[in-house]
DNA sequence: CATGAATGAGAATTCATTCAT
DNA sequence: TATGAATGAATTCTCATTCAT
């Protein structure tokens, strides 16, 4: 972010860089409020103050309040997606059960955040997501799981309903455990129960 | 307050009767707004107008806005509970699979409301429930299912995690299908997928 | 308050008796609320509930809310007046200083209520009196004091201003001490300081 | 924020200036309402309208309605304090009686406002002060009077009670005279009676 | 680009009082 | 007389958003 520059040279890039930095600062402040003060204190004015900008600046980067929350949710979602993809990519040589177990473990860990602040953030986002028009979890994970299973075990292709049920059962159970701050979250027991449910869906779907 | 009474005497105390009628009218108006106009129009003033009472009357019967929604949710919840109980009570002679299938079907039907207005109401209530401090679905249904299964098949007792996963997978999948107005809702396919998930949980839990 | 009476005889009296009882109950409930819950909870509806009557009944006996408070203030004022009169009547043979000291002591004791509930009531009434159009303390006490002094010591008659200053200095100092829950209230020190002030007014007035 | 500045530079930061101006306008409007319409018309909406701002602006500068009144009371109180301090500072060479008389005269004049509007404002503020948690008059004035007296006449130090009684007798008598719109207020007679009361307190306190 | 003063529709809630029964 | 359901004007305060500087 150099101030004095060769005149007329590449003026855009540093500015874009600053913009990116500003957006990041705003999102960070949003996360901090959600974490430390609760979603009802997430007003645009308060956010501006905590971010160290004026409200006007906030509106320079986001069209409205909702967009800010959406951006934060998206950031979180992308992080989970990234992790799952990493698992899908790696470990091609492991057995199907092991790979599926790994996927479930990854998701579990993404939700089972233990440090209180981070956890409160995830909770707040999940709660806001319910109110606003926030995209549902993608069925890519469920589809990937079905694919791994079929590639190894064969059986018929899963129907729409199978994918839907698996996606929702997996994500929503984790979501609810998080929202309720369930003590089960993070335990081996819980993960195993989840896994049994997943395998139940798989076996059922391919047999019937 | 005995139910069967000498004819011609079957009249509630007029005062209590009026009050009960008023409460019913208020709840009906609430449902109508949620159904026809959306939850963001559910303001106390607007509700009063649509109910045909003054705002003061609303507050004579409910301590605050939230309580009204809560009452409506409770009404709905009680209805589902009633239906599930009926299933649990009857059909003692059918096989375990049949009985469990019946329970799942009942739940499915409770969520798969087809008449648009009623459906919008259920959606609105589910969405409001997420915001407000509304009780999570009871695990009684999941426990009942496990009991039916074990009574017939034996196996180890389900753990906390098993119950939690089954409860959430079942209710949340239905909840999400409803919220998303999924076209799967109400189809045989969907019900079967649900059922496979349930049996997967049961088999997994009793074996491992 | 006899219930069964010779038929057709003096029907008014028992009814008046009941009315008096009702009014008393209402005032008592008012005092209780002021004492136990604070003046901001003194709403007509709440008062009715605590008095065990319906609001309608309250309005049968008082034209409006203000009148209830006024009646209570009046009751309290009458009590103080009664006590001062008793002092003025008795002790004719004591010296003027002693008699005046007795009057001041009586007033002091009337305000220096030590039992918390009673004290809160006096405070609440004083505060309400400030808001509503409630009569100021009568100057009869000040006049009586001046008379006692002149009868013994001679000097010129007190002017309007002298009476006003003495009345206000005396009552308002006590009022403020009560409102502020001053620890001085009730002490010998405080009473002596008050007395010095009173004698200062008297000496000054008769000399100049 | 230096007071004397190079001419032509004596301008507050435009931003602070606007804010200060707005606050002043709001307080002025508050005073105008209290003066012309009475305290029961001092609602936030009405105030906003009369101030020529939107209601939101009012709340940008004051956290709630009470704070507005408080600010006005404070302004008034500061003015009286300023005047009394000026008297205390000046006239060091005059005799103690003369200086005390000057203090009493200053207070008297502060309360004896003759122009009707200003007077109604003082009344309204005094009345509101009784309702809200507004600070009682400071005992600095009474202490100063005692000090002047003792420096000249000697005698024992005044006790807590002496200070309290003098403070309250002085301020509350003036307050009541103002609230009751007493015709005595502003007369020589009244001031003399006040002065006699004050000297009575002084003499009594130092002797006994 | 940044600022932040100003906006104002609209939300929830209160409570003295009335009046049909 | 007594009741208490119903009234509804009025109040305080919030907060997303705009726009002149």
pLDDT at A3 over 50: no
Positions 88-107 of C with beta carbon below 7 A from strand E are none
Report if CB B23 to strand F is under 7 Å: no
Report if CB C15 to strand F is under 7 Å: yes
Residues of D in contact with C161 (CB under 8 A): 184, 187, 189-190, 192-194
Give burial (CB, 10 Å; 0-12/13-18/19+) of A121. Answer: buried
C159 φψ region: left (φ > 0), alpha (ψ -120 to 50), beta (else): beta
Give the pLDDT confidence score for residue B82 in this predicted structure.
87
> Which parts of chain D register pLDDT below 70?
1-17, 132-135, 208
Report if CB C18 to strand F is under 7 Å: yes
Between CA C53 and C1' E19 the distance (Å) reads 17
Give the pLDDT confidence score for residue D13 in this predicted structure.
40
Give the pLDDT confidence score for residue A15 in this predicted structure.
56
Return the domain boundaries, chain A: 10-62, 72-207
Give the pLDDT confidence score for residue B178 in this predicted structure.
86
In this complex, is the C-beta atom of B194 within 8 Å of any C-beta atom belonging to chain A? yes
Beta-carbon separation of B168 and A176 below 8 A = yes
Report if CB B39 to strand E is under 7 Å: no
> Which parts of chain C register pLDDT below 50?
1-14
In this complex, is the C-beta atom of C192 within 8 Å of any C-beta atom belonging to chain D? yes
* Distance from the Cα of residue A141 to its chain's centroid: 12
B12-62 — its CATH code?
A: 1.10.10.60
Virtual torsion, Cα A184, A189, A194, A195, nearest 10 deg: 160
Positions 59-78 of A with beta carbon below 7 A from strand F are 59, 64-66
Between CA C17 and C1' E19 the distance (Å) reads 27
Which spans in B55-187 are helix H?
Answer: 55-61, 65-89, 96-111, 116-131, 140-153, 160-179
Between CA A25 and C1' E6 the distance (Å) reads 26
Eight-state DSSP code of residue A10: -
Beta-carbon separation of C190 and D162 below 8 A = no
Rounded Cα distance between D129 and D124, Å, is 8
Interhelix angle C116-131/C160-179, nearest 10 degrees: 130
Nearest DNA or RNA nucleotide to D21 (CA to C1')? E5
Q: Which two tokens stand for residue D173?
A: 């008598």
Q: Half-sphere exposure (CA, 13 Å, Cβ side) for D143? A: 6
- C56-75 pLDDT, tens digit per residue, is 999 999 999 999 999 999 88
E strand or H helix that includes residue C31:
helix C12-36
Nearest DNA or RNA nucleotide to D51 (CA to C1')? E6
Give the pLDDT confidence score for residue D60 in this predicted structure.
94
CATH domain A10-62 topology: Arc Repressor Mutant, subunit A (1.10.10)
Beta-carbon separation of C172 and D177 below 8 A = no
Beta-carbon separation of B165 and A201 below 8 A = no
- A35-89 pLDDT, tens digit per residue, is 988 888 999 999 999 999 999 999 999 999 999 999 998 888 888 888 888 888 8
- Cα dist. B154→B98, B149, B159, B201, C147 in Å? 17, 7, 15, 14, 104
Nearest to B203 among A176, A195, A200 (CB): A200
C7-62 — its CATH code?
A: 1.10.10.60
Nearest CA to A130 out of A64, A75, A177, A176 is that of A176
Task: Strand F: list positions under 7 Å from protein Cβ.
Answer: 1-21
In angstroms, the separation between the Cα of residue D193 and the nearest Cα of chain C is 5
pLDDT band at A9 (very low <50, low <70, confident <90, very high): very low
pLDDT band at A13 (very low <50, low <70, confident <90, very high): very low
Give the pLDDT confidence score for residue C137 in this predicted structure.
77
Report if CB A60 to strand E is under 7 Å: yes
In whole numbers, what is the pLDDT of chain A averaged over residues? 85
Name the residue with tokens 């602070």: D16
Residue C187: CB atoms within 10 A of its CB come to 16
- A180-195 pLDDT, tens digit per residue, is 888 999 999 999 999 9
Give the pLDDT confidence score for residue B123 in this predicted structure.
82
Nearest DNA or RNA nucleotide to D56 (CA to C1')? E7
Rounded Cα distance between B173 and B52, Å, is 38
Give the pLDDT confidence score for residue D189 in this predicted structure.
95
Report if CB C98 to strand F is under 7 Å: no
- A121-156 pLDDT, tens digit per residue, is 888 888 787 776 666 778 889 999 999 999 998 888
Nearest DNA or RNA nucleotide to B63 (CA to C1')? E13
Q: Give the pLDDT of chain B (208 residues) as one tens digit per residue.
A: 333 333 333 333 345 667 888 999 999 999 999 988 888 899 999 999 999 999 999 999 999 999 999 999 888 888 888 888 888 887 777 889 999 999 999 999 988 877 777 788 888 888 787 766 666 777 889 999 999 999 998 888 999 999 999 999 999 999 888 888 889 999 999 999 999 999 999 998 777 5
Nearest CA in chain C to D40: C131
Give the pLDDT confidence score for residue D206 in this predicted structure.
77
Report if CB B60 to strand F is under 7 Å: yes
């Amino acid at each position: 972010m150099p101030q004095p520059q060769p005149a007329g040279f590449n003026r855009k890039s540093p500015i874009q860089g600053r913009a990116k930095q500003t957006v990041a600062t705003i999102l960070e402040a949003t996360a901090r409020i959600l974490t430390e003060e609760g979603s009802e204190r997430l007003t645009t004015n308060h956010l501006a103050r905590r971010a160290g900008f004026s409200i006007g600046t906030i509106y320079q980067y986001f069209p409205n309040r909702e967009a800010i929350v959406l951006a934060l949710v998206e950031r979180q979602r992308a992080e989970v997606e990234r992790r799952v993809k990493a698992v899908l990519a790696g470990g091609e040589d492991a057995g199907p059960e092991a790979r599926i177990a790994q996927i479930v473990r990854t998701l579990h860990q993404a939700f089972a955040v233990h440090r209180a602040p981070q956890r409160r953030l995830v909770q707040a986002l999940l709660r806001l997501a319910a109110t606003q028009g926030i995209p549902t979890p993608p069925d890519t994970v469920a589809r990937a799981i079905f694919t791994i299973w079929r590639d190894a075990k064969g059986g018929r292709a899963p129907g729409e309903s199978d994918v839907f049920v698996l996606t929702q059962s997996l994500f929503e159970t984790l979501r609810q455990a998080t929202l309720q701050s369930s003590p089960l979250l993070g335990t081996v027991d819980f993960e195993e129960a989840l896994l049994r449910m997943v395998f139940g869906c798989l076996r059922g779907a391919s047999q019937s």
